[in-house]
Amino acid sequence: MDNFRKNNGIRRRILIVEDEAVNRDILGWILEEEYEVFYAENGQIAYDMIKEEEQTFSLILLDIMMPEMDGYTLLQLLKKDEKYKYIPVIVLTAEKNAEVKSIKLGAADFIKKPYDMPEVIMARCERIIELYEDQRIIRSTEKDTLTGLYAKNYFYEYIKQIEDIGAGEERDAIVINVEHFSLINELYGHDEGDNVLKDIAKILTDVFADIRTIICRFESDTFCIYCDHQEDYSGRLKSIQARLDELKGSNRIRIRVGINSNDRSEASVATRFDRAKSACDRVRGDYTHNMAYYSNDLLKQAIYNERLINEIEGAIHNGDFVVYYQPKYTISGDKPVLKSAEALIRWKHPEMGMISPGEFIPLFENNGLIQELDSYVWWRAAKQIREWKDKIGKAVPVSVNVSRIDIYNPELEEYLLGLLEKNKINADELMLEITESAYSENADRLLEVVNNLKAKGFKIEMDDFGSGYSSLNMLTAMPIDVLKMDMGFVKNVTKDEKSKRLVELIISIAKYLNLTVVAEGVEEQEQLDILRDMGCDVVQGFYFSKPLPPEEFEELLKKG
């Protein structure tokens, strides 16, 4: 910054307030080569100049004993005014008693009369100006501009300072998040969203006011609290929620809380709050609980998850991920006939053995790595379709999953078409399963992508239909070919009449829309018989076969 000023001829401004002309001249002579110097004969003239000047002074040199308005009075006026309180003031005095009073009023330093040491005066002015400019930068960045709470970096640094001073004291790290905050912005606008965040900041400050606490707005709708250890936070949480419920004109605002209680490990400040956040994430979407404590089990799970995330690329490269194929049978005739397959990923870890997809797929979906895994499955499935064509002389359509994250990939269509061309297979042989949850996020984007893929000849399946996001409007708008019922329907079809009627209704709707119906999770003869009688087209499940590695599925194909 100093180089910028010098290169552009910018000089800091200093105001000398001194009633004796000779003293003004001496100080001006010392400072004018480095600074732009202004003069005032007394406090009143100086105060008027400060208010009239368009640019702020970098420093005020203030004599104490002056006519009309003395230095003490001017110092008091400046420190009471929010606009001028941060201008540093060096008091000019020959009286030792004046120093104590000046410090209490806010003076930054002193220069003793007579002014017989120019280099000392210059050095003190430079030091105070630089010190206060640094403080100004800190003031402008240490607080979140919206809520007035600490910004993350300063929050962490102040915690380190607190712990250096009070080592060994019991303290807690807390993370608070607003559930579905994005919906508030969508429904009521960002101004209302900002008001909610400001209200939450005020509520948190009030509720934790009785204990030593510092609070940070960590990011967007997430707040962090560092405070003296408390055995129970349920009362405070109820107070926060009650205050939120009282917010006039706002929708129901629900918070969730994660607490890392008295963490005595050697973990960094950031890691301790990461642990509190992992506890907070545990109650995401859980409307029976909104508070969770971090535990050793969570730590083990976090370490395990991190290992899986770090090893995904190596596992893909080394072939540790294996694509299994679950047979799908048509049941419209007298005998079930093997028609197609669903590609399902398995992880054969060299050290941990077989890892369940239920462990790594949700993890990769949450951090976006599912795209890499999906691309790998598509590649393996397309290659396998080609191999079976060459070996057995018949095409076996394979369904592959397209995650909701894949929908936003602008290269999705190009990549899939490239697989078809490279393996010399048809578009209707690589069927695309789009999970029903994807339909709830960005319907316009989804419709655009599916229409484009459909136009290129791909068959589109709606996977997990009925798992919670279904829309009959979406069924009519989306150009799908196959409706795949969630296995929960099949599981209950033999247990109660309501479930049976619901399955029948779904099949009837699909038939009306000329859609093929696939039932997942068929495990019993009775389930198969009921589905066949209702007109279901295709089934898959352990009744026929578990998912098989490629070589075992190939043997099944050879048997016809």
Looking up residue 502, the CATH number of its domain turns out to be 3.20.20.450
d(CA 539, CA 412): 29
Per-residue confidence (pLDDT) for residue 436, from 0 to 100: 59
Per-residue confidence (pLDDT) for residue 158, from 0 to 100: 87
Whether 442 shows a pLDDT value over 70: the answer reads no
Give the other-Cβ count within 10 Å of 560's Cβ.
Answer: 8
3 state SS of 110: strand
Residues 30-39 as b/e (b if ≥16 CB within 10 A, e otherwise) read: bbeeebebbb
The answer to whether the beta carbons of residues 354 and 348 sit under 8 Å apart is yes
Residues 129-161 as b/e (b if ≥16 CB within 10 A, e otherwise) read: beebeeeeeeeeeebbeebebbebebbbebbee
d(CA 346, CA 162): 48
Of the residues 294, 318, 343, the one at which a domain ends: 294
Of the residues 85, 117, 141, the one at which a domain ends: 141
* Residue 468 lies inside a defined structural domain of this protein: yes
Average pLDDT for 22-42: 91
Of the residues 228, 261, 294, the one at which a domain ends: 294
With helix as H, strand as E and coil as C, how does 227-279 read? EECCCCCHHHHHHHHHHHHCCCCCCCCCEEEEEECCCCCCCCHHHHHHHHHHH
Enter the DSSP assignment of 150: B
Q: Are residues 237 and 279 both part of a single domain?
A: yes
Q: Are residues 240 and 315 both part of a single domain?
A: no
Domain holding 226: CATH number? Answer: 3.30.70.270
* Residue 146 lies inside a defined structural domain of this protein: no
* Residue 389 lies inside a defined structural domain of this protein: yes
Domain holding 108: CATH number? Answer: 3.40.50.2300
* Residue 301 lies inside a defined structural domain of this protein: no
Q: Are residues 274 and 323 both part of a single domain?
A: no
**What's the pTM?**
0.60
d(CA 353, CA 345): 14
Q: Are residues 378 and 451 both part of a single domain?
A: yes
Spatial strand order of the sheet with 13-17 comes to 36-40, 13-17, 59-63, 89-93, 109-112
Q: What is the largest CA-CA distance in the chain?
A: 116
Give the other-Cβ count within 10 Å of 163's Cβ.
Answer: 14
pLDDT digits (tens, 9 = 90+) for 154-202: 888 888 888 887 677 889 999 999 988 877 777 778 888 889 899 999 9
pLDDT band per the 50, 70, 90 thresholds, residue 552: very high
pLDDT digits (tens, 9 = 90+) for 133-162: 877 777 767 788 889 898 888 888 888 888
Average pLDDT for 98-123: 85
The answer to whether the beta carbons of residues 58 and 77 sit under 8 Å apart is no
Q: Which of 466, 473, 472, 455 is CA-nearest to residue 492? A: 466
pLDDT digits (tens, 9 = 90+) for 353-389: 999 898 898 888 877 889 999 999 999 999 999 999 9
**How many structural domains is the chain composed of?**
3
Tokens representing 524 are 């019993």
Determine the distance from the C-alpha atom of residue 34 to the mean position of all C-alpha atoms in its chain, rounded to a whole number: 48
* Residue 179 lies inside a defined structural domain of this protein: yes
Q: Are residues 347 and 319 both part of a single domain?
A: yes
pLDDT digits (tens, 9 = 90+) for 463-517: 877 655 445 667 777 889 999 988 888 888 888 888 899 899 989 989 999 999 9
Tokens representing 112 are 């003793």
Q: Are residues 337 and 446 both part of a single domain?
A: yes
3 state SS of 92: strand
* Residue 299 lies inside a defined structural domain of this protein: no
Q: Are residues 412 and 543 both part of a single domain?
A: yes
Average pLDDT for 105-111: 86
Residues 6+ apart with CB under 8 A from 234: 291
Q: Are residues 234 and 120 both part of a single domain?
A: no
Q: Which residues pair with 531 in a beta bridge?
A: none
Q: Which of 492, 539, 489, 503 is CA-nearest to residue 518? A: 539
Q: Are residues 75 and 18 both part of a single domain?
A: yes
Domain span at residue 125 reads 2-141
25 in the Ramachandran plot: left (φ > 0), alpha (ψ -120 to 50) or beta? alpha
Q: Are residues 406 and 514 both part of a single domain?
A: yes
* Residue 300 lies inside a defined structural domain of this protein: no
Q: Are residues 386 and 338 both part of a single domain?
A: yes
* Residue 167 lies inside a defined structural domain of this protein: yes
Q: Are residues 331 and 231 both part of a single domain?
A: no
The answer to whether the beta carbons of residues 345 and 398 sit under 8 Å apart is no
pLDDT band per the 50, 70, 90 thresholds, residue 4: very low
Per-residue confidence (pLDDT) for residue 208, from 0 to 100: 95
Residue 433 has φ and ψ, to the nearest 5°, of -95, 120
The answer to whether the beta carbons of residues 298 and 282 sit under 8 Å apart is yes
Tokens representing 490 are 């099949």
